[in-house]
Structure 1
Amino acid sequence: MRYGVLICLLLSIVFTSCKKDDEYIATPMPLSIPQLFAEKLSPPIIPGDNPQTREGIALGRKLFYDPILSGDGTQACASCHNPQNAFSDERRFSIGIDGLEGNRNSMPLFNMAWNFSEDFFWDGRAKGLENQALEPVTNPIEMHNTWEQATVSLQATSDYPLLFSNAFGTENISKELVVKAISQFTRTLISSNSKFDKHLAGEAELTTSEANGLAVFLDESRGDCFHCHGDPNTPIWTDNTFHNNGLDETITDRGLGAFTGDPRDFGLFKSPSLRNLAFTAPYMHDGRFQTLDEVINHYSEGLVYSETIDPLMKTISEGGVHLSENDKADLKAFLLSLSDPSFINNPDFQDPN
């Protein structure tokens, strides 16, 4: 009788361990949070149903660079988010698999776990990073695929079912698991090693020009840039909200307003981070400015009025803040000090294939 009970117990343990695939736990791999971020920012946003794991990050990295997700197998996420451009696109408008051109410049990808508004894209139409990762696959002017076909293609490979099993405990590939993996990888794209970061850590000194550029940036009577892009106490260098920054008198691209339907939101676009400007040209939501000098000139003397112009553009009646040439040069020097060469060359972020 005792042997029968023992056998039953052993069978019960084996059966229980085999059937609980939903309780599979991959190897935890929390984000490596920079000290500066830990000191000045709230904890990063990590969804409870998508914790960072070693296997999930590795899978997401592979998917990010794999053109298998596109309709014709020619375009990957990295095609429009090049690591050498701080995961943006050097072209004004990215071109999809059918040769169609978009109307927005590809946003850079870094420090997204600190997007506390959780609004993604220039117009904020995606809530959360996982939802942001869903759209490019099916967008007809981007990867132009269906999620059904994308997951069928992944399922038919020799390696992806096992990789999904390692990351999520199941070989059954779904769009939800695909975007969870990609999001785990893109959350690791942390940029925190610019010259200015080193300055804050006491490891580098600003030049006289860079120091004056910071003063211009923070001075409401000169640059007045910090209201939309933060300051050294907000080292992601964006407020993650939406503004009409005086680009056009007539609004043709409604931006946030196209998503909300609220006329008060017409022409409002998300403030991009000022990090890595040395690598992310062209600038603005439509890539209209090829150089940082053009951007500075816009705010200095190029502002134009429209009905939804942001009140922060308070110098609109004068066309801008009218910086001196010296202040323009110094502001540019400061802005470039926010660039992080180690980020674009980090081997953990490159194509693993």
Structure 2
Amino acid sequence: MSQRRAPLLLALLALTVLNGVAATLRADSPGVPALPPTTANYRKYAIDDLPQYFKAGAIASMNNTPVDNQLTNAGATLGRVLFYDERLSHNDGLSCSSCHQQQHDFSDPNQLSTGFQGGHTGRHSMGLSNAAYYAPKKFFWDQRAANLETQVLMPIQDAVEMGTNLTQLTAELSATKFYPSLFQNAFGSPEVTSDKISKALSQFVRSMVSYQSKFDQAVQLGVPGAPNYAAAGYTAQEQLGATLFHGDGRCSTCHVSNAQIGDAPRNIGLKADSSADLGAGNGTFKTPSLRNSEVRDGYMHDGRFTSLEQVVEFYSSGVQDNQFLDLRLRDNFLATGQPYRPNFNATQQAALVAFLKTLTDQSFLNNELFSDPFEDLPGDFNNDGEVDSADLAVWKTAFGATAGADADGDLDSDGQDFLVWQQNLGRSWEDFVGSNIPTAAPVPEPSAVAILTMAALALAPLHRRLKRS
């Protein structure tokens, strides 16, 4: 092949491939945060608007918020962005929300969660609503994290889950156009540090308070210690379930207060032998809140149950005896008692399930405060939140590759991606602030002249090498 014909033939080959590619626009980046022009009011939702029984008494006494990390609107906003940002994983492909999904009470509908390289976590993803209310302050099923500030950084560094390191992460976030200003708003300085990441994520998680369920209506319509179920529209079945929950079911002895939160890790008799997974010790595991349990689709530390019906059946007749079984699950509340198995009939079990569903808080599950704020910024190949000349350099380097500068969804970096970059040149994350989020115009089919120009530009280095050879 002559030296003169090589670039032309390669350009024609590029034209043939590109003409067969759909022009559907897709960003090859984690995107940029589309935030409201006025900072969202997390304090109003999670502090000011709380019902009185959350502000004082048993629930308030279990609040684990530290003195040096009080909830702020700017801090929780930063935490929301971090929570949904795929930059927190090693390959920019996984975020905290990948395993903690809002519609599932910030849990994972799968039994085990999938990490950044396809591996699976060792335990089921725990729901996050009312995480602020746990007096022992410890996190994870086995309570290995002393507090939430410690916990939020651990999945980021976990070899299976997100696989990055904090040095790499802080450098990547610092290089974006938006994080320095978000850190400035939250902490008074633009520097990105792991301590600030920890505090912001913790503020966001603690703001996830669930207090607008049907049960909450009954509590507010009643008197202290006596929810008015009838006034809240409870059916006869739901009222029977409430009676069983607080009575023969013994559910409220472990899921305490009007927030149905845990107060300590428990051995609940899932197995006669707990040696395979000791959890927090002797087969005990953290007791989660029951709020929004209806939508979790996975229950217990190993996700073994897939429905509330299975959970109720287990507590009704399936609790296994072992030497560390919690006394609340023994007949006489003594170490010598037999496992407590009330053996509820089908009507009673259905009633308990019906009551548990009244703990679902649709307002929380659909609240925009906790939703994904990210939007695509096509052409931002270096993921810094701005389409500029630096992105063109990335495109040139990645030309012909299957990753690195793909903006049109055809899984390679070619002339079409250049057109996307060119069309969006000058746009930044600030264009996405406010309710009027711009969308890129459809990318036109590239003409033969445009393709030849793009290919010639990308292949110029090859042409120069051929001339020198």
TM-score by length of 1: 0.85
Distance 1:98 1:29 in 2: 34
Is 2:363 the partner of 1:337?
no
Give unmatched runs, 5+ long, in structure 1.
1-25, 258-265
- The equivalent residue for 2:253 is 227
Displacement of 1:29:
6.2
**What is the rounded CA distance, in whole Å, between the counterparts of 1:188 and 1:224 in structure 2?**
29
* Paired residue secondary structure (2:77): helix
CA contact (8 A) 2:134 2:261 kept: no
Q: Which residue of 2 aligns with 1:308?
A: 324
Is residue 318–residue 341 contact of structure 2 (8 Å, CA) maintained in 1? yes
Taking the aligned partners of 1:125 and 1:272, their CA distance within structure 2 comes to 15
Equivalent of 1:144, from 163, 172, 185? 163
TM-score by length of 2: 0.64
2:252 partner letter: F
Q: Which amino acid aligns with 1:57?
A: A
The DSSP-based 3-state class of the residue aligned with 1:326 is helix
Q: Deviations over 1:30-89 (max 9, x none)?
A: 433333312443264432222222221111111100010111110101000000101010
Task: Indicate if the aligned counterparts of 1:137 and 1:143 stay in contact, CA closer than 8 A.
Answer: yes
Larger Rg: 2
For the residue of structure 1 that corresponds to 2:338, the secondary structure is: helix
> Is contact 2:214–2:358 with CA below 8 Å preserved after alignment?
yes
Correspondence for 1:120: 139
Summarize deviations over 1:168-214 as a string: whole Å, max 9, x none: 12222111000111111111111101111111222612111111111
Find the counterpart in structure 1 of residue 262 from structure 2: 239
- In 1, Cα distance between the equivalents of 2:152 and 2:352? 34
1:253 aligned residue (256, 274, 277): 277
Give the corresponding residue for 2:86: 67
Q: Corresponding residue for 2:186?
A: 167
Is the partner of 1:119 in helix, strand or coil?
coil
Equivalent residue, structure 2, for 1:290: 306
The 2-side partners of 1:297 and 1:28 are apart by 41
Is 1:204 equivalent to 2:222 in the alignment?
Answer: no
Would the aligned equivalents of 1:27 and 1:53 in 2 still touch at CA under 8 Å? no
Mapped pair 1:328 → 2:384 = no
Q: Give me the whole-angstrom Cα distance separating, in 2, the residues matched to 1:241 and 1:318.
A: 19
Please, which runs of 5 or more residues in structure 2 have no aligned partner?
1-38, 222-230, 332-336, 375-469
Equivalent residue in structure 1 for 2:54, among 18, 31, 37: 37
What residue number does 1:349 align with?
370
Runs of 4+ with >4 A deviation: 26-29
Please state if 1:101 is matched with 2:120: yes
1:239-285 deviation per Cα after TM superposition (whole angstroms, max 9, x unaligned): 3311110101222111002xxxxxxxx21001111111111121111
Tell me the SS of whatever aligns to 2:177: coil
| Bigger relative contact order, structure 1 or 2 (CA pairs below 8 A, ≥6 apart) | 2
Residues 302 and 319 in structure 1, CA contact (< 8 A), matched pair in contact too: no
Residue-by-residue CA offset, 1:72-128 (whole Å, 9 max, x unaligned) = 110101000000101010000001001111121101111222222211111111122
Mapped to 2, the partners of 1:29 and 1:284 lie a distance apart of 30
SS at match of 1:180: helix
Q: Quick one: distance in 2 between partners of 1:34 and 1:93?
A: 35
| Cα distance, 1:318 vs structure 2 | 6.0
Identity %: 38
Contact 2:156–2:162 under 8 Å retained in 1:
yes
Q: Quick check: 1:61–1:182 contact (8 Å CA) kept in 2?
A: yes
Cross-structure match for 1:20: none
